[in-house]
């Protein structure tokens, strides 16, 4: 099942089953996760960063090209904020994307810290609407 297959490994199935049991037993965790994602979107919007229309725990920020995406990733990593990097063919040619996947144990202070770091990086790269308005 590991080579030339899209089937799920038995250990993954067991982990998914346990995750579902936790989600059923503690629905407040899922609510907190979605609340933190909503807070991140709001905090980024305040800082002039567009995140699109998603309403799940994944918050994405698009970049105009791959080198800028990589620079932003590095600058955020240096600030202690991690994201997943997506570039073509996973994104439209000539663009890049950073995705933040929030989890249930985050608190508002963590999210505001991450949003501040993203806003600062976007400003330094000249990409937020705030930095565009100032130019």
- Tell me whether residue 75 is exposed, middle or buried, using C-beta atoms within 10 angstroms of its C-beta: 0 to 12, 13 to 18, 19 or more: middle
Task: Give CA–CA dist 81/116, Å, rounded.
Answer: 10
pTM: 0.83
CA 41 to chain centre: 10
- Taking only the tens place, the pLDDT of each residue in 20-75 is 999 899 999 999 999 999 999 999 999 999 998 889 999 999 999 999 999 999 99
């Amino acid at each position: 099942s590991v080579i030339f297959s899209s089937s799920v490994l038995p250990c993954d199935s067991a982990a998914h089953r346990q995750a579902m049991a936790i989600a059923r037993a503690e629905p407040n965790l899922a609510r907190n996760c979605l609340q933190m994602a909503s807070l991140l979107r709001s905090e980024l919007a305040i800082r002039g960063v567009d995140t699109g229309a998603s309403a799940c725990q994944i918050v994405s920020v698009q970049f105009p090209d791959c080198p800028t995406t990589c620079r932003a990733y590095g600058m955020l990593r240096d600030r202690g904020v991690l994201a997943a990097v997506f570039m073509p063919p996973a994104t439209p040619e000539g663009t890049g994307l950073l995705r933040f996947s929030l989890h249930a144990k985050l608190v508002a202070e963590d999210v505001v810290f991450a949003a501040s770091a993203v806003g600062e990086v976007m400003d330094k790269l000249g990409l937020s609407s705030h930095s565009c308005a100032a130019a």
